[in-house]
Chains A and B, each alone.
Chain A
Amino acid sequence: MRLVIRKDFEAVSYHVAKYVKERIKEFAPTATKPFVLGLPTGSSPIGVYRNLVKFHQAGELSFQHIITFNMDEYVGLPRDHPESYHSFMWSNLFKHVDILPENVHILDGNATDLDLECQRYEEKIAAVGGIELFLGGIGPDGHIAFNEPGSSLNSRTRVKTLAYDTIVANARFFDNDITKVPNLALTVGVATVMDAREVCIIITGAHKALALAKCIEEGVNHMWTVSAIQLHPRGMIVCDEDATLELHVKTVNYFKSIEKVHEQLIGSDNVGLQGGVRSWRGGAESTYHQ
């Protein structure tokens, strides 16, 4: 797992957006070989989306051959409700870019058969060959998507009851009235996220410092569902300085030193996008290892 530490939310957002852009360019998607991207909602990715829109407007990034799958959606909330994740994705990303409507997937929280909707969602992901890169954020309790503490780390897309904490936290979007907050949601499972060939998690702010520490310094634990990333071969967490407050100094220094060593000894141009080293400066043979 890589941990990339940046100064603040803006720097984190820029780093992740640039990473997504470079990954897509490297992939060189076409109509028959689309890039499949998993997307979150909430406050964490807003800055990333803003930067992606900028890249698109500058002509540096096209969504023409990108297929997206969102993580979750409330149950029973009309699709056009301002707080629905359909609305969120429309106003923060989709309306600004050239993505094809038929390439966008968000769970339908108003489906007549919710279980079937979830099952079909997994099938749709499989039909396009799985997710190449899943972006995510976390809650202060370390939940990813709506996989609240205690969710199975093997869970798949399903109907989920929201934790009381989440309902209280989300009441601010519903006139501060907890009775208006939907208490059910459809969400991809922890395993759905971890099935992606690459997972990138954004964690910012002091209020998420404990979650970050629990997720990377302690064992894999269903009470901090994002800790499952420890078992992922290509996992990356991008966090800001504030989010590192609960980490050991040793942990922070280690991850910072990785970037530093790369920079000084290898040269950033020699480091692969996913952190692999193509060749060691002065080394006789070109090698590629993680």
Chain B
Amino acid sequence: MKLSIIAALSVAAAALVMSKENEPKVTKIINCRILRDHKIVEKDAIWIQSGKIIDPHKFFWYQKRLPDVVLDAEGLIIAPGFIEAQINGAFGVDFSVPMDHDIYEKGLLKVNRGLLKYGTTSYCPTIVSSSSSVYHRVLPHLKLRAGSAETGATILGAHVEGPFINKARIGAHELKVLQASANDGYKNFKEVYGLEGETPEAQRKLSDKDLNCIKIITCAPELEGVMDTIPDLVKAGITVSVGHSMANISQAERAVENGATFITHLFNAMSQFHHRDPGVIGLLGSRLDLPRPYYGLICDGIHVHPNSVKIAYDSHPKGAILITDAMSAMGLPLGNYQLGNMSVTKEDDRVYIEGTETLAGSVITLDACVRNFIKFTHCSLVEALEAVTLHPATLLGIQDTKGVIKPGADADLVFLSDDLYVKRVFVAGEEVDLKSIDVEAVEKF
């Protein structure tokens, strides 16, 4: 009797070894505090297989084996990898400047890898208002491409900020490339950006196959023809954001009715809040039957005053999406740089046009935005983290795979200390060697 049990056990053990060789490796992360379902969950684990979060309950019953690797997170907080909806460049790379194919790709790789240091594991490279020829050259680089520990953050598709924006709220964009109207509707957009889909429906098919290079369009709905084109853009699988706009409240609400779901850098480059006509900002107080849009907040404490950040958060906490809107000096050491045709000086968390006190853009990092957001609003840790994970993921319709820690989602993870500094990063289930990135970013520049 005993012998037969031992024989049976050893057969089972052999079968187990065989199945282990065939099945992809499973990693279990223990001793962590997990952001899950709007809570910080303690005494639980994250299970990863083939780059995805898996359901350990199913794994236990169906695969009938233990994890191959058990990793101790030493009590750190684990959040989904951060998602950034608006960033113009970093590490000396400006996404809006066309380059030879290989040089542009090299720059992208540098940013993709460099952003991991700050916890960003997917993002929308942002292109400022440009001429059609620029879009035609840069956008083909910015189609969805999945990230990895080697190649860095996932590119989700471009955020094209303009050129269908109001010249009275131009910000740092170039006046001569703006489009004053879109009287031919979708066709105008298609031609300017070089979209491949002849119709919104055709473009949608490309979007569904992740072949659409544009994820977000920032436009001013008050421009002739733009308001009526919003439904077509949405149909094409593109997120429409209101920004660089003088829209009054009724125009802004119509844009939302037509399908706009985002406000580009709230408070910046829009009509100021007036109590009789609150303009785009007024969307935060929209009537109940209108879905309130998400809004981007540059959380560097400079572009938006901390009190304004708190006002926005208090009125619509579930809509907050933190953005850096960073320019190419982000991630660079302090000093003087020639960026495109601009000479700039980077000091602390600010960057000036050399010899002046004019800000040349933002150089904040996304993890710093999270820390600022808590400081400015006194919101909970969960709310602050969701403003760079769940909220942008939901805005972009990718909340089943990004911005969440649940079975089926991509295993993009950020390990954070209690004071919210990035300690470890996983992309698609593989740990990133953060130290190697530090060296590379500084030396290669």
Residues of A at under 8 Å CB distance from B? Answer: 31-32, 79-80, 86-87, 90-91, 94-95, 100-102, 104, 127-129
Contact = CB atoms under 8 A, between A and B. Distances in A.
17 contacts: A32-B2, A32-B5, A32-B9, A80-B57, A80-B58, A87-B57, A90-B61, A91-B57, A95-B57, A100-B66, A101-B63, A101-B64, A102-B12, A102-B16, A102-B65, A128-B5, A129-B5
A104 B66 CA distance: 12
Given A32-B6, A127-B5, A129-B5, A86 B56 contact: no
B8 interface: yes
Given A32-B6, A102-B12, A94 B1 contact: no
Interface in B48-97: 55-58, 60-61, 63-66
Point out which of A94, A95, A101, A104 has the most chain B C-beta atoms below 10 A from its C-beta.
A101
A21 to B, nearest CB: 20
A94 B5 contact: no
B32 to A, nearest CB: 15
Interface string B8-26: 1100100010000000000
Given A32-B6, A101-B66, A102-B12, A86 B61 contact: yes
B58 A101 contact: no
Given A95-B60, A101-B64, A128-B5, 10 more contacts: A31-B9, A32-B2, A80-B57, A86-B57, A86-B61, A90-B60, A90-B61, A94-B60, A95-B56, A101-B61
Contacts of B8: 127
Nearest to B64: A101
A102 B61 CA distance: 9
B330 to A, nearest CB: 42
Interface of B: 1-2, 5-6, 8-9, 12, 16, 45, 55-58, 60-61, 63-66
A103 to B, nearest CB: 10
Contacts of A90: 56-57, 60-61
Contacts of A129: 1, 5
A31 B16 CA distance: 15
Contacts, number: 39
Nearest to A90: B57
Contacts of B58: 80
Nearest to B2: A32
Contacts of A128: 5
Nearest to A87: B57
A58 B65 CA distance: 24
Contacts of B57: 80, 86-87, 90-91, 95
A80 B341 CA distance: 60
A90 B47 CA distance: 14
B42 to A, nearest CB: 13
B64 A102 contact: yes
A180 to B, nearest CB: 21
Point out which of B1, B55, B60, B66 has the most chain A C-beta atoms below 10 A from its C-beta.
B60
Nearest to A96: B43
Contact of B61 (A79, A91, A100, A127): A79
Q: Identify the 5 closest CB pairs spanning chains A and B, nearest first.
A: A101-B64, A90-B57, A101-B60, A102-B64, A79-B61
Contacts of A31: 9
A91 B56 CA distance: 10
Contacts of A127: 5, 8
A31 B64 CA distance: 17
A99 to B, nearest CB: 9
A117 B200 CA distance: 55
A64 to B, nearest CB: 11
A187 to B, nearest CB: 19
Nearest to A53: B43
Contacts of A79: 61
Nearest to B4: A127
A111 to B, nearest CB: 14
Nearest to B44: A95
Nearest to A126: B1
Contacts of A95: 45, 56-57, 60
Contacts of A32: 2, 5-6, 9
Contacts of B56: 90, 95
Contacts of A80: 55, 57-58
Nearest to B15: A102
A137 to B, nearest CB: 23
B71 to A, nearest CB: 16
A128 B61 CA distance: 20
B309 to A, nearest CB: 39
Nearest to B63: A101
Contacts of B66: 100-101
A188 B61 CA distance: 20
A79 B2 CA distance: 32
B418 to A, nearest CB: 22
Contacts of B9: 31-32
A153 B6 CA distance: 33
Point out which of B6, B63, B66 has the most chain A C-beta atoms below 10 A from its C-beta.
B66
Nearest to A31: B9
Contacts of B60: 90, 94-95, 101, 104
A58 to B, nearest CB: 14
A129 B9 CA distance: 13
